[in-house]
């Protein structure tokens, strides 16, 4: 079996502080331990095609030892005075830029081994994995870094095992065996096994997910639930194919390769087709095509809709409002016909007093006319 082509990047300031000076004296031993894949029972042997170490100026005295072991040493001296006085360096940013550059330029690389216990390198792990590369990180079992890198990286090395590797010796090959036996793995210093809370929620989702009769198959709904759990931990961040495949491996019906009775990718053509189908079930899974059969998967948190405004109740009056009904207008023709048919009273004759009064008024009017003529 061919060895994995790997790149080794060492944050020396961090590893030196987490271990001791034996990291220099036992350099050849723990380097051989990494090449034999001794930190994991299923890990393949590897061949480092590039080895780099990053440190502060004070550790430049170890340059001869590392260069003899095939390392390229980089002195990452800080520029700010306050960082220089505090013993800080710029190794983090230099290591990050080199990791991204190697992942983009060197097509021969299959794996990165990043020796650091700094949790700030989690985005670097995610970005390297986006190029379908395997990443091995390092963490302390006495703080959350080991558990953190166990969730995000493809494999995690605990500091206790690395310390034990300072005195590692490769087993001799037997004359009747084709290869030497697998190396012994240093046990964890913690008695209680650390279990990822994320994987606990994934297992719960596998137990409780049920599909409707007319909906998608139950295995696709369980896959959507797993992608949701992964995406909620790092929203708007690319989810690498390696991480998605590893998480979906908990589903019994999932396999990335042809197996007896099972088609790969839930019966889809490839990984990209499967993710597009999951995106149709859950629109929050955003799938972007980057090339031929290559996609980028991002979990987008759905925007929360603003709460509806409460409607104002209609005003309530103590007394009902009096409404005037429109009055019907009668046509003139109808009024004329009604007047003809109506029984009007006969005219009343004038009384004697009224007749005498009218005669006096007539006589006075005649006298005034005569006077005017004279």
Specify the higher pLDDT residue, 332 or 263.
Answer: 263
Q: For residue 361, what are its two tokens?
A: 């008024």
Query: For residue 159, what pLDDT is reported?
Result: 86
Helix, strand, or coil (residue 157): strand
Q: Is 158 helix (H, G, I), strand (E, B) or coil?
A: strand
pLDDT tens-place string over residues 54-113: 998 888 899 999 999 999 999 887 666 555 555 567 888 999 999 999 999 988 999 999
Strand order in the sheet with 294-299: 238-239, 294-299, 285-291
**Spatial distance between the Cα atoms of 230 and 202, rounded to a whole number of angstroms:** 9
Residue with tokens 């009096």: 322
Highest CATH level, class, for 1-172: alpha beta
Q: What is the pLDDT of residues 195-225, one digit of tens each?
A: 455 555 555 565 554 444 567 888 888 898 8
pLDDT, mean of residues 313-327 = 56
Write the pLDDT tens digit of every residue in 123-167. Answer: 899 889 888 899 999 888 777 788 888 888 888 888 888 888 888
Strand extents, DSSP E, the chain: 4-11, 46-55, 72-75, 111-115, 134-139, 155-158, 238-239, 285-291, 294-299
Task: Output the pTM of the full model.
Answer: 0.53
Q: What is the pLDDT of residue 191?
A: 35
Which structure tokens are listed for 229?
């759990």
User: How far apart, in whole angstroms, are the C-alpha atoms of residue 193 and residue 32?
Assistant: 27
Confidence of residue 38 (pLDDT cuts 50, 70, 90): confident
Nearest to 55 by CA among 93, 96, 89: 89
Closest to 148 in 3D by CA, of 127, 120, 128? 120
- CA-based torsion, 17, 20, 25, 31: positive or negative: negative
What integer pLDDT is reported at residue 66 of this predicted model? 94
Which sequence spans correspond to the domains of the chain? 1-172, 195-303
Confidence of residue 237 (pLDDT cuts 50, 70, 90): confident
DSSP 28: H
Strands 294-299 and 238-239: antiparallel
Averaged pLDDT score across all residues of the chain: 76
């Amino acid at each position: 079996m061919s060895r994995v082509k790997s790149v080794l990047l060492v944050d020396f300031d961090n590893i030196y502080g987490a271990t001791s000076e034996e990291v220099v004296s036992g350099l050849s031993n723990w380097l051989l331990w990494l090449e034999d894949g001794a930190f994991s029972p299923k890990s393949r042997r590897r061949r480092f095609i590039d080895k780099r170490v990053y440190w502060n100026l004070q550790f430049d005295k170890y340059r001869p030892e590392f260069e003899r072991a095939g390392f390229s040493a980089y002195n990452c001296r800080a520029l700010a005075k306050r960082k220089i006085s505090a013993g800080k360096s710029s190794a983090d940013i230099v290591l990050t830029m080199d990791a991204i550059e190697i992942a983009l330029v060197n097509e021969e690389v299959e794996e990165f081994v990043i020796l650091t216990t700094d949790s700030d390198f989690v985005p670097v792990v995610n970005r390297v994995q986006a190029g379908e590369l395997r990443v091995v990180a390092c963490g302390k079992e006495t703080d959350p870094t080991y558990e953190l890198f166990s969730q995000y990286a493809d494999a995690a090395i605990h500091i206790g095992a690395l310390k034990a590797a300072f005195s590692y010796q490769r087993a001799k090959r037997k004359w009747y065996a084709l290869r030497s036996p697998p190396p012994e793995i240093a046990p964890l210093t913690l008695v209680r096994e650390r279990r990822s809370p994320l994987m606990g929620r994934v297992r719960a989702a596998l137990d409780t997910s049920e599909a409707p009769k007319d909906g998608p198959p139950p295995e696709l709904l369980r896959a959507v639930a797993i992608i949701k759990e992964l995406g909620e931990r790092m929203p708007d961040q690319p989810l690498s194919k390696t991480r998605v495949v590893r998480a979906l491996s908990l589903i019994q019906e999932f396999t990335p390769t042809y197996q007896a009775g099972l088609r790969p990718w839930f019966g889809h053509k490839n990984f990209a087709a499967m993710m597009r189908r999951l995106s149709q079930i859950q629109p929050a899974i955003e799938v972007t095509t980057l090339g031929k059969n290559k996609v980028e998967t991002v979990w987008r948190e759905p925007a929360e809709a603003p709460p509806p405004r409460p409607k104002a109740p209609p005003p309530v009056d103590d007394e009902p409002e009096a409404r005037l009904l429109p009055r019907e207008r009668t046509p003139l023709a109808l009024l004329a016909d009604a007047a003809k048919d109506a029984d009007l009273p006969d005219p009343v004759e004038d009384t004697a007093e009224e007749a005498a009064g009218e005669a006096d008024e007539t006589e006075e009017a005649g006298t005034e006319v005569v006077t005017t003529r004279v």
